[in-house]
Amino acid sequence: MEMYDSVNVFGEALELCGDDPMTGFYRDGACNTCSQDAGSHTVCIEVSAEFLEYSRFKGNDLSTPVPESGFHGLRAGDRWCLCAARWLQALEDKMAPRVYLKRTHIRALEIVPMELLKRYTMDLS
């Protein structure tokens, strides 16, 4: 699995999304991706309680620990590399979580337009 360049949506070096819990397709703390990442885990979000409930309802329970996988479950305030299509789906359902653009991989833009991400940004003034 050859990783694509670690570049954010601004064409700059991709910043770390989160390491507690460790996130990313590669579990390297960044929203890095490759051709084998079918879900495009490229959007760095801040998890909210509402989003966790929404995600569980949609069939992806991110809050329940899975100890055998080393996953302790997410809590509100955690940062997580979310699948770009899931973020877009959450937006359509009016449940989109906030986004860190400097920590979001440029390949997210293949699925989610920049102007939509900018509306939910946490890291632009």
CATH of the domain at 2: 3.30.56.110
**pLDDT recorded at residue 125:** 57
Contact 88, 36 (CB under 8 A): no
**pLDDT recorded at residue 14:** 98
**pLDDT recorded at residue 8:** 98
- List pLDDT tens digits, range 34-90: 999 999 999 999 999 999 999 999 999 999 998 888 788 999 999 999 999 999 999
Q: What's the pTM value of the predicted model, to 2 decimals?
A: 0.94
Q: Give the total number of structural domains in the chain.
A: 1
Full residue range of the structural domain in which residue 124 is found:
1-125
Residue 122 half-sphere exposure toward CB, CA atoms < 13 A = 17
